[in-house]
Homo-oligomer: A and B are copies of this chain.
Amino acid sequence: MQFHMNGFHDGDPLVQVPASGRQGPQGPIPPELDVLIIGSGPAGLTLAAQLSAFANIQTRIVERKPAPMLRGQADGVSCRSMEMFKAFGFADRVLKEGYWVNETTFWGPNPDNQDEIARIGRVQDVADDLSEMPHLILNQARIHDMYLDYMRNSASKLEVDYGLELVNLKVDPDGGEYPVTVTLERLGFVHDRKHVTVKVKYVIGCDGARSPVRNAIGRELNGDRQGQAWGVMDILADTDFPDFRYKSVIKSANQGNILLIPREGGYVTRIYVELDKISERGASRNIGLERLVDVANNILNPYTLDVKDVGWWSVYEVGHSVADKFDDADGDDIPHVFIAGDACHTHSAKAGQGMNVSMGDTFNLGWKLISVLNGKCRPELLKSYSGERKAVAQALIDYDHKWARVMSAKTTDDEISGSQEPAFKTHFIAGGKFTAGLSVQYPASELVGEATWQHLAKGEDLGMRLHSAPVVRLADGKLVHLNDSILADTRWHLFAFAPAGDNGKGDSAMAKLCDWLQNNPQSPVVKYTPKGADPDAVLSVYGVFQQHHHALELTDMPALLKPKKGPYSIIDYEKIFCPDLKNGNDIFDMRGIDRQQGCMILVRPDQYIAHVLPLAEVEQLSAFFEGFMLAR
């Protein structure tokens, strides 16, 4: 992590100096806002956290509940979400505190006695080199806490306003700068301060499956609203089930199914019990905790589960549905109201996706919103959110449907005898990339280039997230990950991979590219960087070379890769990388980078790959940015 650039920062470097006017308490909601977020779940907080770094944008986030959540709800954190948490600087805390899903075990009927279960297989949960991050389990409340800390530490010191519920939202297309009028009701107040009315530029409804914001803009969830019934409980238990600390998928012959998810801290386990098999559809709501424990014991036979304490439990039915559009705009209109998270998509918890896809929604929206509000990008950029994220939601619903069919199918004799791999195991393995959150691929658009030069970086797919790899930093020999440089700060990133033999000197391809980027009037660095800002404030450029780091000299490197920054004009030393040859991890091999030609990989602020280009195709690079940027 980088700090001290602007002079010595005493104390915790994660705690930013408050922006002007943000030293004291946040105060009442002002009559006009740039951004109003409704709902403080994972989607709302992911967005609020991004905005909190920009104190010049007037943002508020309101929550119907009276206080932060403490327990329950989601707990799956996908590899992709962990990669995103790196950009917020708290992935390390989740790594430390969460349960690591290392292997998943599969249990089916014991062939010798089908009233009992037996382990029928196990798989490594995340394939090698799928991501630099593991799959984790941590209570959603703690993820909230980390976002709340991030906001508390930010320059704006943004806080959630609890106990405020949306009662009215109206968009006036002719409403000028603040076209959305929102009325909030303060819970527990009966006097004249009960209602707050505020005019807003952009409203984002992160307000759950029954989303009042969605209803207010007339969008609808489409799909089957009735779904499977599940019971879920977070328990402390004494048990002889040997895989109590492995994620386990358990299909009994006749007693139903369990999804067992060990939880953080070494003792708690979450058990999902499929209830369709044991009750009439719709009757599940009357099922109590005792019945859940009984069913779990029946399924786990011959093992027993002596539940000692229950932290949280719930019985619910959930369908599969997606909103028809994720914003309020029709045709060529610019959207001013967005919906995200459960407000856009509902599905089961089986694939552990809910929290992750919700955070992905607003990580897609956040940089766009900030870039438009700060005059960096055209407002039309905001139209890309609904299309990019609706496709992701639809893929999730389709996957969830498939999982449901596989889990509810009766185990065949061949599966029980072991002569055939059980379908739920093969399906689980096949879905590995999906459940890790790594199958999302945004299609070609103004924000994702055509795949003309995809062959120059075969392992870095256009529209997918940058697949990081270990690299050694030239300036200090530190082994880092390529994506460590990407923070949640709306900057674009250009990774220039050098051709074989290129050492950055003289008239090498890298030197030429860097010279063009630094000096040519058509360069996005020149065109879009505000006067007086750091040279990497809009587009941060990195060089990745093929040589061992002892074979290169910092002195020889192009000036653009040693940018002088901040009030003291001092060098940022973290832009030049070499392959990790000592450990045999050559990023050029790992990611299929063309060794003869090298290439440029342009990465969006949300870590998705926007373009792969030959090093000399600087005009294409320039043209790409013209599609959505505003010149300074």
Q: Which residues of A contact B (CB under 8 A)?
A: 1-5, 7-13, 70-71, 92, 95-97, 99-100, 102-103, 122, 141-142, 145, 234, 236-240, 242, 244-246, 262-268, 308-309, 311, 475-479, 550, 553-555, 564, 566, 568-574
Contacts and interface: CB of A to CB of B under 8 A. Distances in A.
B102 A10 contact: no
A262 B569 CA distance: 18
A12 B245 CA distance: 22
A3 to B, nearest CB: 4
B96 A267 contact: no
A244 B574 CA distance: 12
B2 A478 contact: no
Nearest to A69: B10
B555 A266 contact: no
A242 B71 contact: no
29 contacts: A1-B96, A1-B97, A2-B265, A2-B266, A3-B265, A4-B263, A4-B264, A4-B311, A5-B265, A8-B234, A8-B309, A8-B311, A10-B70, A11-B70, A12-B142, A13-B264, A92-B92, A100-B478, A102-B477, A102-B479, A237-B570, A238-B570, A239-B571, A244-B573, A245-B476, A246-B475, A266-B573, A266-B574, A267-B572
A569 B145 contact: no
A566 B309 CA distance: 12
Given A102-B476, A477-B103, A309 B7 contact: yes
Contacts of A2: 265-267
A574 B244 CA distance: 12
Which are the 8 A-B pairs with shortest beta-carbon distances? A308-B568, A245-B476, A8-B311, A102-B477, A3-B265, A4-B265, A2-B266, A242-B554
A564 to B, nearest CB: 7
A96 to B, nearest CB: 5
Contacts of A553: 242
Contacts of A262: 476
Contacts of A239: 571
Given A97-B1, A141-B10, A238-B568, A245 B573 contact: yes
Contact of A570 (B240, B267, B566): B267
Nearest to A96: B92
A5 B263 CA distance: 12
Contact of A308 (B1, B99, B570): B570
A99 B476 CA distance: 9
Copies of this chain held together in the complex: 2
A245 B572 CA distance: 10
B70 A245 contact: no
B308 A246 contact: no
Contact of A477 (B70, B246, B555): B246
Contacts of A122: 550
Given A2-B266, A5-B267, 5 more contacts: A4-B264, A4-B266, A4-B268, A5-B266, A240-B555
Nearest to A146: B12
A266 B8 contact: no
A7 B311 CA distance: 8
A266 B370 CA distance: 27
- The residue among A5, A71, A99, A570 with the most chain B CB atoms within 10 A of its own CB is A570
B570 A478 contact: no
Contacts of A569: 238, 308
Contacts of A244: 475, 571, 573
Contacts of A3: 264-267
Q: Which of A2, A9, A239, A309 has the most CB of B within 10 A?
A: A309
A321 B471 CA distance: 44
Given A102-B477, A242-B555, A476-B246, A268 B8 contact: yes
A309 B566 CA distance: 12
Contact of A265 (B13, B100, B142, B237): B13
